């Protein structure tokens, strides 16, 4: 392999370990989420400076509704604040925001802030920042397939014409290249229903660092590991 450092185009992150980070410090779990939210902003900036073109982060899963009401409320409030305060920053840093996941279950005011933020940053040309909220990969695939089924019913396509591209394009990530690197922080080694379809060939990187402690150094380490791998797509190395 040559020594040239290749930057992954799209990095996806399962930001895990907030609760354990807080517990270790004798703080409520919500303090871990608050620190985690600050880290997201920093890592977005770092990723952009490193030349990463797309960053996708898992903020709230379809399964996270089963947490205690108070924790869900506090996570939603953090997201609410983020949507309201980040526009100025996005404008300054040329960031383009897209929220992936089923937004229809979110509070009305949050849906409105998200729509405004997506609209107002749509023409930015810098890093693409995807935030997964009420996101579950299986749910996303179901919604994509439903959209195609409706087109079949309307007679726009034949069932046999449905192909991988159509399913890909109807996912919430439609139009965005699939992640080449998936990072999970916090020590667990599982996917937890994140981007199952899109990460079919992503390199996986697991680290023990809890998300609130994650820094540019950790991101660089992940990129280094990515660079040391021989990427294959089922064929032989070219």
Query: Contact residues for ligand IPE (CB under 6 A)?
Result: 14-20, 58-61, 64, 75, 186, 188, 190, 192
16 touches Mg ion by CB under 5 A: yes
Question: Residues 206, 212, 216, CA angle at the centre, nearest 5°?
Answer: 70
Q: Does 184 bind Mg ion (CB under 5 A)?
A: no
Q: How far apart are CA 211 and CA 106, in angstroms?
A: 24
Q: Could you give the maximum distance between any two Cα atoms of the chain, in Å?
A: 60
As given in the structure block, the two tokens for residue 222 are 């992940």
Q: Which of 2, 3, 16, 107 is catalytic?
A: 16
Nearest residue to ligand IPE, scored by beta-carbon proximity: 19
140 is a site residue for Mg ion (CB under 5 A): no
Contact 4, 25 (CB under 8 A): no
Catalytic site includes residue 163: no
Choose the contact partner of 209 out of ligand IPE, Mg ion, none; CB within 5 to 8 A by kind: none
Distance CA 15, CA 39 (A): 10
Catalytic residue among 2, 3, 48, 64: 64
With CB cut-offs between 5 and 8 Å by kind, which of Mg ion, ligand IPE, none does residue 128 bind? none
Closest to ligand IPE by CB, 68 or 159: 68
Residue environment code for 204-231, b if the CB has 16+ CB neighbours within 10 A, otherwise e:
ebbbebbbbebeeebbeebbebbbeeee
Please, which residue, 95 or 131, has the CB nearer to ligand IPE? 131
Is residue 211 a contact point for Mg ion (CB under 5 A)?
Answer: no
* Catalytic residue flag (residue 64): yes
What is the phi/psi pair of residue 54, to 5°?
A: -140, 135
Q: Which is nearer to ligand IPE, 161 or 208 (CB)?
A: 208
Contact positions toward Mg ion, by CB under 5 A? 16
């Amino acid at each position: 392999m040559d020594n040239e450092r290749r930057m992954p185009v799209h990095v996806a992150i399962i930001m895990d370990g907030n609760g354990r980070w807080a517990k270790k410090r004798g703080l409520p779990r919500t303090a871990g989420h608050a620190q985690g939210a600050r880290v997201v902003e920093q890592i977005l900036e770092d990723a952009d400076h490193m030349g990463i073109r797309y960053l996708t982060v898992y903020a709230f899963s379809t399964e996270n509704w089963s947490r205690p009401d108070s924790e869900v409320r506090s996570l939603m409030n953090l997201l609410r604040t983020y949507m309201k305060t980040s526009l100025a920053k996005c404008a300054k840093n040329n960031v383009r925001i897209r929220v992936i996941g089923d937004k229809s279950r979110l509070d009305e005011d949050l849906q409105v802030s998200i729509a405004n933020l997506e609209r107002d940053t749509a023409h930015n040309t810098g890093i693409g920042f995807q935030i997964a909220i009420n996101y579950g990969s299986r749910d996303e695939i179901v919604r994509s397939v439903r959209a195609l089924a409706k087109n079949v019913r309307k007679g726009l396509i034949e069932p046999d014409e449905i192909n991988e591209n159509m399913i890909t394009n109807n996912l919430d990530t439609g139009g965005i290249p699939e992640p080449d690197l998936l990072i999970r922080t916090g020590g667990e080694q599982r996917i937890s229903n994140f981007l199952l379809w899109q990460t079919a060939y992503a390199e996986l990187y697991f680290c023990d660092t809890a998300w609130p402690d994650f820094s540019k150094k950790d991101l660089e380490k992940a990129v280094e590991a990515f660079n040391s791998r021989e990427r294959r797509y089922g064929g032989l190395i070219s």
